[in-house]
Structure 1
Amino acid sequence: MHGSSSERPALARGAGQRLLIVAGTSDAAELLSTTLELAGYRIVAVAAAAEGLTRLARERFDLVVVDATLPDVAELGRVRPTLARRPPVLLLVDYASLDRIVPELGLGERDYVTKPFRVADLLARVKILLRGTGAGPARGDGLAYCDLVLDDARCEARRGTRLLDLTPAEYRLLRHLLVNAHRVLSKEQIGRYVWGDHHGDNAIEQLVSRLRRKVDQDPPGLIHTRRGFGYWLGRVDAEA
């Protein structure tokens, strides 16, 4: 099964990160919103750069997707002095205008895809930019994937409407798996994150087993074993 998954690469997916889309036409905004929402991101869409700046000033976003052909897109280059946090930006550009990509765009790290874009290219560039920031899947003061939500302010975890009764070690493990969704973590990596050192394979196996029983009472199962490698969190259909 592991071999067949590697032979059929899946589209890059998110895990609840919050994205701002700045697109001038409703068709473009709808296409981007639908594509990214289906890929596991949470979306806010606006029609103009000025409106995007307003949202950036008062809300937290992990990444901004911008149609570089908007007439007021240069306004985004003036956010350096006003924003405490500058998310990375993915520009959508016409192939003929590659030599005119806004050089002063100051939101942070940036990349581009040309229009019309391929879905696989768009999702891949989004994921790479997010990985560069170290941003985990965010929802309010916590993390989220599917219907699984961690609230770091309250140190609580929920699966749908069900509150999970987690120990501190289980909570730390779940958080580590969520931040690294779709990435296999070795037992050594898990032990060092949860306890600060490697507690031995048996202790980690028992911890993962207890957490899995609590999280995966409801389908779909989210915590999986990659035999010989470690553990990962995510939907199996997202890996296939």
Structure 2
Amino acid sequence: MSATARILVVEDDPHIRRLVRAALQRAGHAVSEAASAREGLSLLDIEKPDAVLLDLGLPDRDGIELIQIIRARSAAGVIVISAREDTAEKVAALDLGADDYLTKPFDTEELLARIRTVLRHRQSGEAGQTRIVIGDVEIDLTRRRILRAGTEVHVTPKEYDVLAALARHPDRVISHAQLLRNVWGPAHEQRVDYLRIVVRNLRQKLEPDPAQPRLITNEPGVGYRLRGLE
């Protein structure tokens, strides 16, 4: 990012705050820090950050509860940073509107890459895009067409709907339940087998090596991500 972004770090561990602040400042970002949920929500209104790095284990409130509040009060991107590795926690955070989830301990370069992705999509208004190009794959959301290296690829309606749902939020993990609700309906949100079949078919049609997918990647037990261009 060439322009400075405002990043709010909501984390009760002072050591992690110092580590993250140093990495963000080296990358040219302006940083605000909060050690509690109350302080974080106050700074959210005052600082109007471009992105929020949110710990879940806060002393006064569970960070999961804050995701929807942040979403209702701000257009900031939300990246959860947590020591919790439970798959259900990750799914809950993503379903409530988090853009990404990073598990402690983490590499600061990876964190900066995730932030760049969130900022890029937020600032470009990704929801309004009608044409997504990733490598030699083009997804035309207006015409419901998929091209690979300029040649149209035949996909079934379900395959298209899954790919389109991922393409509207490239680089963001979309949970299995969310994809199933959007494509098959609420009654089928436990049928992960439906989703696996569709993703396998899409990989066969779009990936150079379906056995080593690089376009549609899996977050084990959580969901899928359509890899964009860094």
Structure with bigger RCO (C-alpha 8 Å, 6+ apart): 1
Q: Which has the larger radius of gyration?
A: 1
TM category, shorter: 0.3 to 0.5
Using the size of structure 2 for normalisation, the TM-score is 0.47
